[in-house]
A = this chain, B = another copy of it.
Amino acid sequence: MKGIILVMDGMGGRPLKEFNNQTTLQAAKTPNMDKMAERGITGLMDPIAPGIIPGSDTAHLSILGYNPYEVYTGRGPFEASGVGVDVIPGDIAFRCNFSTSDEDGIITDRRAGRIRDGTDEIVATLNTMKIEGYEDIQIIFKESTGHRAVLVLRGEGLSGKVSDADPKVEGNKAKEVKALDASPEAEKTADILNKLVAKSYEMIKDHPVNLKRIEEGEAPANIIIPRGAGEVPEVELINDKYEVNSACIAETGLIMGIGRFAGMDIIEMEGVTGGTDTNLENIRDTIIDQVNNSEHDFLLINIDGADEAGHDGDAKEKLKFIEKVDEVVMKEVLKLENSYIFLTADHSTPISVKNHSGDPVPVLINGPEVRVDDVCEYNEYAVAKGGLCRIRGADVMNILTDLMGYAHKFGA
């Protein structure tokens, strides 16, 4: 028996005038998801708790059985994990921007002219950095997309309780990083960060990539600005906690980072973009292949496009994408046998809000032994009358592993 959590990122919504007070999901024609609702048990889910606005990262942590209030100490660790740095408990991780500094330290462009190429070469140089007096601290940079990068500090006596260097507004110097508590660890980490920012400029201002950019009239990526410090927490890996052999099928670094953090195998896919133009056929084939031909018995799947359309406030695009997923992916997913399928969203991304909201999301479970209710449509309204009533993200793994026969009795 396999267990599948299929997360349609940001699929939930609020009633829309242009859809006659229906949500996008309600207005969309989704015969396959409706079929799954008919065959399954349905309900509402608060990814974290009622009214709490989840990030995609905190929602996925919650759905995987981690308490985000305990493990989510900052974006840095998950961002670092997302771009493939094998972080270990105790690491202090940061999100960084490549920015442009003038000779006086004034940040003239926070995004270094939205640099797209060559950051890997600059990172190669930065990864030779040692800070005087802190030679035992390992410094790991890794480029992400565009002007983004991550930084990991590894070693003894560090703390995630430090402020951001990001000046937020251009025309200012990088902010001095400060300790956010009175611990010597925070003081030490702040000192390292301040030296690191200054040193990054010295090391990369004349980097060949930057000399070429200057020649071509582009802003050079000549300084590193860290923010979002967080300590990598010690957690029980999902395979140990739930006795599964798990894999993560996702489009974005953010979700892959959550999967890697939980110790899941990450399945790479070609042609996926995280947008509405993604290659859904590839996602579908990867799911089918993993269910039928792999040893993984637990899959976390994230399809991101509906969230992107929600952030863009584009109701038609969101509707179209939901319909396309229904047609391309769900049509095949509903044929899977020997599986429990938990279909949900990680949060609502209402068109009107253009961002996540705290509204609950629809859930359904298909599988041989669920208590099938009489709900026959998959949307925010219909499932509110379903047999699951209203559950939380933290309940998902327990419900799923119980149905799969993997869970253990607590007590006699």
Distance in angstroms between the alpha carbons of A51 and B371 in the assembled complex? 13
Knowing A371-B15, A372-B15 are in contact, say whether A50-B411 is a contact too (CB < 8 A).
no
Instruction: Choose among B372, B384, B402, B411 the residue that contacts A21 (Cβ–Cβ < 8 A).
Output: B372
Whether B352 pairs with A397 at a CB distance below 8 angstroms is no
By a CB distance below 8 angstroms, the chain B residues around A21 are: 372
Whether B387 pairs with A51 at a CB distance below 8 angstroms is no
Knowing A58-B410, A409-B356, A411-B55 are in contact, say whether A50-B391 is a contact too (CB < 8 A).
yes
Whether B254 pairs with A369 at a CB distance below 8 angstroms is no
* Chain B residue at minimal CB-CB distance from A405: B353
Tell me if A's interface is mostly helix, strand, loop or mixed. loop
Distance in angstroms between the alpha carbons of A335 and B396 in the assembled complex? 40
Distance in angstroms between the alpha carbons of A405 and B55 in the assembled complex? 16
**Per-residue contact bits, chain A 385-412, to B (CB 8 Å; 1 contact, 0 not):** 1111111100111111110010111111
Knowing A395-B49, A411-B72 are in contact, say whether A373-B384 is a contact too (CB < 8 A).
yes
Whether A402 pairs with B15 at a CB distance below 8 angstroms is no
Distance in angstroms between the alpha carbons of A48 and B49 in the assembled complex? 15
By a CB distance below 8 angstroms, the chain B residues around A391 are: 50, 390
Residue positions of A touching B, CB distance < 8 A? 14-15, 21, 23, 44, 48-59, 68, 72, 75, 78-79, 254, 350, 352-353, 355-359, 369-373, 380-381, 384-392, 395-402, 405, 407-412
What are 7 inter-chain pairs, A to B, with CB distance below 8 A? Answer: A23-B371, A50-B395, A51-B401, A51-B407, A58-B410, A58-B411, A373-B381
